[in-house]
Structure formats: C-alpha cells, structure tokens
C-alpha cells in the first residue's frame, strides 16, 4: 500500500472511490504490456462506474494479452485539494500508476458539462493541457463517446477522437499503436497512421478558416492523408460483438449497481431533438437467446440482485414480450429484481409492471416532451393525447399514486399555448384521479419536470435557435404559476448550465479557449449543482471573449459550414434538412420500422429493422409475417 495515498484516504469523504480492488477488476503487470491504456471518466467514481460503455471497453481490451486497460475517475474536490497539497498525481485505480506513465488515456464524453473536468484531470496528472505542448514523452490523449460527434471544443486538447462504436475501433487503434511503438515511430507518425482508420479524427490535421461574421468559411486539411469527412466507426454485427459477462462490481455503492444487458443499439423513432436517435443508427439487436445468456452469466458472475435492460427504447425490442416474460420468470426464481427503463406504457407494459412489484413504489414515468399535439408533431414525438391519458388512466386504476412527467421547453416554434398544454396535462391527470379514486382516494401526486431544450449536433434541430436565459426564466415563472395545482410538483433545470451546455454542444474550435479559462478560474464537476461555479464561468467568458449568443441563440442557415461537418455520422445532411423543414410544417415522419424514411444510413450498413412492421387492425404496429 502506498503510505502517502493511505494518509490522504483517511481524510476524505468516501475513500472507497479511490481504492480499486473490486471483484472482476483486472490486475496485470504494466511492465509486461505492449500498451498501457487508461480509461478516464471525467466525473466521480459512483457516476462513472454506472456507465456500461466503460464495462464494454474494459472487457474487450483486457481480453488482449498485450493490452492493459486501467481506470481513472475524477477525484471529488476534497481529494483534489489534498492531492494538490501533497503533490500526489492522479493515479489509476488498478495499480496506482500515475496516469502520465501510461501510453494512452481515453476520456469518455458523455455530457458537455464534464469538459472542464477533463482538463482538471490532465492537470492533476501533470500532463500539459494543449496537445501541441505535449511531446513524445506524454501519453496519447484520446476521447470518444456521444459528445465526440462535435469534437471541436476539445480539438486543441485531444490528440485524437474515436467517433462511433468503440468496441472494435478502440482495440484496433491500440494494436496499431503497439505496432508503431515497436517500430519506434513518434507520436506524429502514429497519428498519421491512426487517422486512416475508421472513426479516427485527428484534429491537428485540420484547421477551420473563418468568415468575417465569425462563421466557418471552410475546414482546411493540414495533412493530405487525413480523411474529410471522417466516417464514424460502426459495429455492423452486434450479435457477435463482445459484451461483458464479468463486469466490475463496485464495492462502494454506485448510482446504478446492477447487471445490465444492452438489448439493442439505435432507435427507429426519429424524434427531432434527439441526438442519440441519430448517432446510434441503425437499430442493431442482440438475439433474445443472447440477451438471456448474457443476463444470466452476468448475474452468476457478479452476484448482483438487480438486472436492467439497456437501450434507447426498451419496448421497441422486436421480441420484447417473450424476453420480458422469460426474464420475469428467471429473476423471480433467483431473487433478483428486474428493472425495465423507458418502457412504452401500453397494455403489455401494465401486465409486466404488475408482475414487478417495486414499480408502484417508484411511480410511473411518462415523457410527452411537449404540451400540445402540434408541438409533439413538430418534434416528431409519436405520442398522442389519447396515448397519454389512456395510459395514465390505466395506471391510476391499477393503483399508481405517483406520476412523473417529463417535458422540454424552448423547443422550436414553441408558444405559451404549448406551455398551457403542459399545465393542462398535469391538471387533467389530477382530475382523473379524483374521478377514479374520489375525494378520499389518498395521497396522489404528479411531478412535472421541465428541462431546457439544447440543440445538438447531428439532429434536425442543429440549426435552431436556443431560448435566451430571459426567455427560459419567463417560461419557468409562467409554468410555476400555471402549475400551482394541488398535488402537482414542478421542477425545472438551471438556465446557466443549459446555455453553457449549448455553447459546447455546437461550439467550434474557438470555444476551447473558453473551456481553458473556465478550468483556470476553478470550474470543474460542473454537472453537480454543489460544485458548479458560475463566477468561474462568467470570468471565463470575459477572458476568452466568447459570445455565448453566437453559439446558442443564433439561428444558422442550412448553407452554413458547421464545425462538426468534418464528421460523417452516417445520417445524411440532406435528410436532416428535410426533417428540419418538415418540423416547421408540423409534419411527422414515420418510425422507419414501418418503411425506410431515407436517412442515408443504409449507404454504409444494412438496416435490419427497415420496414419490419405494418399497421394492424387496431392501428398499432405488428411484426410483418414473413
């Protein structure tokens, strides 16, 4: 045991965050490896350990004899202060190796508000922040994950991005690194090799040129061999892709402490605000047998007492009913609780939920996203008033006492009528309960949670204007008044972080300066209300000269060169433009399981779900007979 570290651990909250040694964590001798990789999650241990992507990559990498994947998370502020005072650098969990002694550090980009934490982690590792300041002696700094689809805010700090699915691209990249290392190539030459691989974007090989109005004129290549655009890496056969059956089991409690199986990747619904719905296309399913096998082996290998399925829309899995029934049966027998997130609330869901007792306690969650049918058509959220009220009525009849509703405000074309619609839905649910359960029906409540719309790259709304902080304020106040209904609780999201998130979601390379200044001014762990420092951010905006409105409020034209045009997410820009136009005409686009909608994904990969459904007599989708 490291004596210096031990003394620190005695002084911090939750020292278990920093100790490693979990069941199924992997110990190898770093000296025997060709490549020492460090998976870095820019948030606290409890958050990072709940992330399935880390388990997937940890598993595929550590299966290789010549590669060692270790983990590192952001320390909490109390630990960070001690580390800085005692000059202890950021260490890997597994072998307590200073991260700067590894070959390769890979940050996962799950949310924009974690970016300052990335800089802080590099700094705690005694690694220069800017790529150009890091010579051959420093590890290669890489990043991947959903936010990498607009990599530009981080372009000056990160040597290379892995765009798309990581479970094949990352091992291939590290093997390439091992080769280059053996051939004594320097970092620059390695990057030249790497950029030829699928999904690899090396930002230093490109340079944006700007127009006088601040928009991008063009993206210039600085190295001829670099691709433009960079095509995203896609795992085309997910059934045979490696999935962990031995996930690491945290010793201290993580946010989600459970066995998790990804049933499918991608989504066919095409909600126009949703980035995940675009960047994970096409839908790729694991077979039911495979899901069951993975679930069982994970439970056996971890001893977890909870199992959850993961996907963007649980009920869209094509043999969901059979799978759910088999899992309910198995988990009951094994004393394991089953959790089915983002379930579409229909008759089958109620049958399932009534068999999983815990659900009534936690309440029923429903996400209409917008208050009126008109606006739901704009965003292509395929849910009608009838769907909402019918489901919730059934829930109330079946005894649910707590209904949670999720909405977004600031969506394109939104008016105060749409906000009235939110209050109207909440009010009608309260009335409905009164009608069903009477005045003595006992406690019943509806929680309305409203988040602020943040336009994201690679969505049909990527050109749209975000509301100003003032507009959001007015809307929050308006809703707060409207939602003063007995039994209704109203929650909303902070305006500042929504704006900062929006700056980076569509930011260009120049916003990196803002990030740097924010970090210098002390911003980190910005996703945590208790750690968020608006003074640091205000200072950073002043010093960097970045005008937030240019990135948030300004509406872009379809002709504008977007910072992330250098990345090809697979869905064509033509499709996104067409969807953006249809949104303004309040026209919906069908779920592509009813027939291809032409997103362009099938230029690169086969869409197995294209047109598998047809509308049946009851107006719902049913699997076509082959």
Partner 1 sequence: MNNRYAIRFGKDGYIKYTSHLDLLRMFKRAFKKTGLALCYSQGFNPHPKMGFAQPLSLGYSSRCEIIEFETRMPHTTGEIMEKMRSEMPPGINLISCIELDEKIKSLAADTVAASYKIWIPTNQTEEALKNALKTYMEKEEIVALKRQKKTKKMEPVNIKNMIRKIEIAKVGPFAMINAVLDCGSKSNCSPELIISSFCLHCNINSPRYEVEIERTELFFVNNLQF
- Rule CB under 8 A: which residues touch partner 1? 1, 6-11, 15-16, 18-23, 249, 251-253, 300-305, 335
User: Looking at beta carbons only, is 91 or 309 nearer to partner 1?
Assistant: 91
Q: How far is the CB of 201 from partner 1 (least distance, A)?
A: 38
In degrees and rounded to multiples of 5, residue 30 shows phi and psi of -55, -30
Query: What's the closest the beta carbon of residue 2 comes to partner 1, in angstroms?
Result: 9
For residue 15, report the phi and psi dihedrals to the nearest 5 degrees.
-60, -20
**Alpha-carbon span 223 to 194, nearest angstrom:** 13
Q: Which is nearer to partner 1, 215 or 298 (CB)?
A: 298
Within 10 angstroms of residue 257's Cβ, the number of other Cβ atoms is 16
- Three-state DSSP state, 417: helix
Q: DSSP secondary-structure letter at 232?
A: P
Output the smallest distance, CB 68 to partner 1, in A. 17
**Beta carbon nearer to partner 1, 6 or 239:** 6
Burial bucket for residue 542 (CB in 10 Å: 0-12, 13-18, 19+)? exposed
Identity of the residue, 303 or 611, whose beta carbon is nearer to partner 1 in the bound complex? 303
Toward partner 1, which CB reaches closer, 151 or 250?
250
Kindly state the smallest distance separating residue 7's Cβ from partner 1, in Å. Answer: 5
CB of 251 to partner 1, least distance (A): 5
Name the residue among 384, 372, 410, 374 with its Cα closest to residue 585.
Answer: 374
Contact 104, 38 (CB under 8 A): yes
Taking the least distance from each CB to partner 1, the nearer of 8 and 76 is 8
Least distance in angstroms from the C-beta of 77 to partner 1: 18
**Longest Cα–Cα distance in the chain:** 79
Nearer to partner 1, 252 or 430 (CB): 252
Residues in Cβ contact with 457 at an 8 Å cutoff, skipping those fewer than 6 apart: 149, 150, 275, 505, 506, 562, 564
Distance of alpha carbon 399 from alpha carbon 597, whole angstroms: 40
Q: What is the Cα Rg of the chain in Å?
A: 25
Nearer to partner 1 by Cβ, of 18 and 532: the residue is: 18
Of 12 and 405, which CB lies nearer to partner 1 in the complex structure?
A: 12
Which of 513, 23, 523, 1 minimizes the C-alpha distance to 252?
A: 23
CB of 555 to partner 1, least distance (A): 51
The contacts of residue 585 (CB under 8 Å, 6+ apart) are none
SS3 assignment, position 602: helix
Q: Which is nearer to partner 1, 7 or 581 (CB)?
A: 7
Cβ nearer to partner 1, comparing 207 with 358:
358
Tell me the backbone φ, ψ of residue 526, rounded to 5 degrees.
-65, -15
Residue 21 burial class via C-beta count within 10 angstroms: exposed 0-12, middle 13-18, buried 19 and up: exposed
Are 22 and 251 in contact by the 8 Å Cβ rule? The answer is yes
- What number of other Cβ atoms are within 10 A of residue 211's Cβ? 11
Cβ-contact 515, 154 below 8 angstroms: yes
Burial label for 19, CB within 10 Å (0-12, 13-18, 19+), is middle
> What H or E segment, with its residue span, contains residue 121?
helix 115-124
């Amino acid at each position: 045991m490291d004596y210096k570290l031990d003394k620190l651990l005695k002084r911090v909250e939750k020292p278990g965050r920093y100790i490693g040694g979990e069941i199924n964590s992997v110990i190898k001798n770093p000296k025997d490896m060709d490549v020492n990789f460090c998976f870095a999650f820019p948030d606290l241990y409890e958050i990072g350990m709940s992330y399935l992507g880390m388990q997937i990559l940890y598993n595929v990498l550590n299966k290789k004899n010549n590669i060692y994947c270790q983990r590192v998370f952001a320390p909490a502020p109390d630990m960070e202060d001690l580390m800085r005072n005692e000059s202890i650098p950021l260490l890997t969990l597994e072998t307590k190796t200073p991260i700067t002694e590894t070959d390769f550090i890979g940050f996962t980009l799950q949310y924009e508000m974690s970016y300052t934490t990335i800089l802080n982690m590099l700094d705690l590792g005694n690694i220069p922040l800017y790529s150009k300041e890091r010579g051959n002696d420093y590890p290669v700094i890489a990043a991947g994950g959903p936010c990498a689809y607009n990599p530009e805010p981080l372009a000056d700090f990160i040597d290379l991005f892995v765009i798309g699915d990581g479970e094949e691209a990352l091992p291939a990249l590290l093997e390439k690194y091992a080769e280059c290392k053996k051939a004594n190539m320097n970092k620059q030459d390695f990057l030249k090799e790497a950029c030829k691989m699928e999904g690899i974007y090396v930002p230093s090989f490109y340079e944006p040129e700007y127009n006088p109005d601040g928009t991008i004129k063009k993206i210039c290549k600085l190295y001829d061999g670099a691709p433009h655009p960079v095509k995203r890496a896609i795992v085309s056969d997910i059934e045979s892709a490696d999935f962990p059956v031995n996930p690491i089991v945290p010793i201290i409690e993580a946010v989600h402490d459970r066995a998790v199986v990804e049933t499918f990747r991608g989504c066919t619904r095409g909600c126009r605000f949703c980035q995940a719905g675009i960047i994970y296309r096409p839908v790729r399913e694991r077979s039911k047998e495979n899901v069951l096998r993975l679930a069982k082996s994970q439970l056996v290998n971890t001893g977890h007492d909870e199992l959850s399925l993961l996907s963007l829309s649980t009920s869209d899995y094509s043999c969901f009913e059979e799978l759910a029934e088999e899992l309910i049966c198995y988990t009951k027998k094994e004393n394991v609780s089953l959790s089915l997130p983002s379930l579409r609330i229909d008759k089958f869901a109620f049958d399932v939920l009534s068999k999983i007792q815990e659900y009534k306690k936690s309440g029923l969650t429903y996400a209409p996203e917008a208050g009126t049918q008109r606006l739901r058509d704009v965003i292509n959220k395929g849910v009608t008033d009838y769907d909402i009220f019918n489901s919730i009525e059934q829930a109330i009849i079946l005894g649910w006492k707590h209904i949670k509703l999720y909405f977004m405000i600031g969506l394109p074309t939104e008016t105060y009528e749409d906000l009235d619609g939110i209050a109207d839905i909440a009010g009608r649910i309260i009335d409905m309960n009164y009608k069903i359960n009477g005045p003595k029906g006992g406690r019943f409540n509806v929680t309305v949670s409203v988040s602020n719309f943040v336009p994201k790259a690679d969505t049909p709304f990527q050109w749209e204007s975000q509301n100003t902080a003032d507009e959001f304020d007015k809307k929050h106040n308006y809703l707060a008044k409207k939602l003063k209904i007995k039994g209704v609780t109203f929650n909303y999201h902070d305006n500042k972080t929504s704006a900062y998130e929006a700056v980076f979601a569509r930011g260009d390379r120049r916003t990196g300066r803002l990030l740097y200044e924010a970090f210098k001014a002390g911003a980190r762990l910005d996703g945590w209300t208790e750690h968020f420092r608006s003074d640091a951010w205000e200072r950073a905006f002043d010093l960097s000269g970045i005008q937030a409105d240019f990135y948030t409020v300004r509406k872009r034209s379809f002709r504008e060169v977007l910072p992330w045009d250098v990345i090809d997410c697979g869905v064509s820009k033509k499709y996104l433009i067409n969807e953006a136009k249809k949104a303004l005409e309040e026209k919906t686009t069908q779920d592509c399981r009813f027939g291809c909608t032409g997103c362009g994904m099938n230029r690169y990969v086969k869409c197995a779900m294209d047109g598998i459904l047809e509308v049946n007599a009851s107006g719902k989708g049913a699997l076509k007979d082959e």
